[in-house]
Structure 1
């Protein structure tokens, strides 16, 4: 496998924390509705959505550092449709797309002119992306625990069940922030102390989507790699 292919897969793994991750509803909610109630209602009532995201990856402060360090920032646009279809498009600082069409998970890197694909397997089914975009029952993989109200955003924590294989979920803690029935933030903690923070905005739900939204073909001349 070429160096560029390895680089792409490495970037994919870093982004898949995504990496990959969000959703929403425009029902009116009183402040009395806790985050778990709002989240469950969103999963049932919102069939598709689109919006913008901004993302930060932060590591703990090391010896001699006064504050945690922001490793990278990115921003872009997302679209999803249940079951299991989404586009997570990073626009800054580089152009990259993660696309799930229900059968494959694709990564397009414009700078490398490279497309990498892999099957959308069970690992994706239990990922943060599928929590918000998929059709699997969140209750199968996580215990939902209501958290605090911070600045008008009500938080819940998704705790992986003891029976859930550790390899399927790269995070030790997953927080979801809800406001007016919409997930507006994600907080993802891995086992090394790194935190991924994702803010979601300009969300439109249950919209009409083009049939080609979740289809993608590499441009002529691009490198294409398939990972099994």
Structure 2
């Protein structure tokens, strides 16, 4: 079975990568929304590890007392540089890379020996990354709603502004976007779409303000690879 990321899966990866770095020390006494604002405002570069789980509610013939069920899990490493550059490197259970170099978004599937190129602006336009990669404040496009404290994190909901032009610009496919903050860093991200599908991403071993080589976000397909270019 081909393991090409679906459009939604790519959007999830972009959304997650877009918020993964900061360069400021924080107190956990600060509200989650203030931690997130400062995190985005002061972020430069970072790298770390992720575990991404796709969840669903149990079916009628399954036990209902265990909550959401994990239907797929991947893990890997990310590297990030503002604005608009990242590598989202899935390493298990298969190897894929999602690379944004500022101009293009590239999906590399090692098993398929296939690289797909698309314009970064078009690919990012319908995701939170369009806001979080940019230079503007989150508050220009989202209402940050303070959520509950759970799992040792202060959760913040990102609600698109009600202005019609803002909605058109964001074009978000998610009904809910929540970020769990700990000491000024995002430790978890929950994304829910209109069908009730949930993606939970947990983050670990985040290193801040790392020095990255100029070619870190370049990618050249190996000889013999299939290359698809989408406009």
TM-score (norm 2): 0.88
Counterparts of 2:123 and 2:108, CA distance in 1:
20
Question: How is 1:21-32 mapped onto 2 (pairs within 5 angstroms)?
Answer: 21=16, 22-25=19-22, 27-32=24-29
Q: Secondary structure at the match of 1:23?
A: coil
Q: In the alignment, does 2:196 pair up with 1:193?
A: yes
Distance verdict in 2 for CA 1:47–1:28, change over 3 Å: closer
- Superimposed CA distance per residue, residues 82-124 of structure 1 (whole angstroms, 9 cap, x where no aligned partner): 1111110000010000001111111000000000011112551
* Counterparts of residues 173-184 of structure 1 (less than 5 Å): 173-184=176-187
Q: Quick check: 113-122 or 34-43, which moved more? A: 113-122
| 1:138 Cα deviation from its structure 2 partner | 2.3
Q: Any gaps of 5 or more consecutive residues in structure 1?
A: none
Aligned residues: 222
Alignment partner, residue 75 of structure 2: 75
Quote how far apart the aligned CAs of 1:131 are: 4.7
Structure 2 unmatched ranges of 5 or more: none
Rounded to whole Å, the distance in 2 between the matches of 1:96 and 1:184 is: 22
Deviates more, 1:186-195 or 1:54-63: 54-63
Quote the Cα distance in structure 1 between the aligned partners of 2:136 and 2:118. 20
Greater shift, 62-71 or 35-44, is seen at: 62-71
Deviations 1:196-225 (A, max 9, x none): 000011001111101111100100000000
1:58 corresponds to 2:55: yes
Alignment partner of 1:36 out of 8, 30, 33: 33
TM-score, with normalisation over the residues of structure 1? 0.89
Tell whether the 8 Å contact from 2:77 to 2:90 is kept in structure 1 after alignment. yes
Contact in 2 for aligned 1:23/1:133 (Cα 8 Å): no
Query: 2-side partners of 1:102 and 1:38: how far apart?
Result: 26
**How big is the shift at 1:28?**
3.3
Corresponding residue number in structure 1 for 2:120: 120
| 2:229 is the counterpart of 1:226 | yes
The Cα offsets for residues 32-57 of structure 1, whole Å up to 9 and x where unpaired, read as 20011101111111111111000100
RMSD: 2.1
Detail structure 1 runs of 4+ shifted over 3 Å in the superposition.
128-137
- Asked if the contact 2:125–2:170 (Cα under 8 Å) also holds between the matched residues in 1, the reply is no
The CA distance in 1 between the partners of 2:142 and 2:63, in whole Å, is: 35
- Tell me if the contact between 2:33 and 2:144 (Cα under 8 Å) persists in the aligned partners: yes
SS of the residue 2:13 aligns to = coil
- Quote how far apart the aligned CAs of 1:171 are: 0.7
1:18 aligned residue (12, 15, 20): 12
Whether the 8 Å contact between 2:130 and 2:170 is mirrored in structure 1 is no
Shift of residue 142, structure 1, vs aligned partner:
1.5
Structure 1 SS opposite 2:35 = helix
The alignment partner of 1:37 has SS state of helix
Greater shift in the superposed pair: 92-101 or 22-31: 22-31
Instruction: From the superposition, tell whether residues 81 and 55 of structure 1 become closer, same or farther in structure 2 (CA, over 3 Å).
Output: same
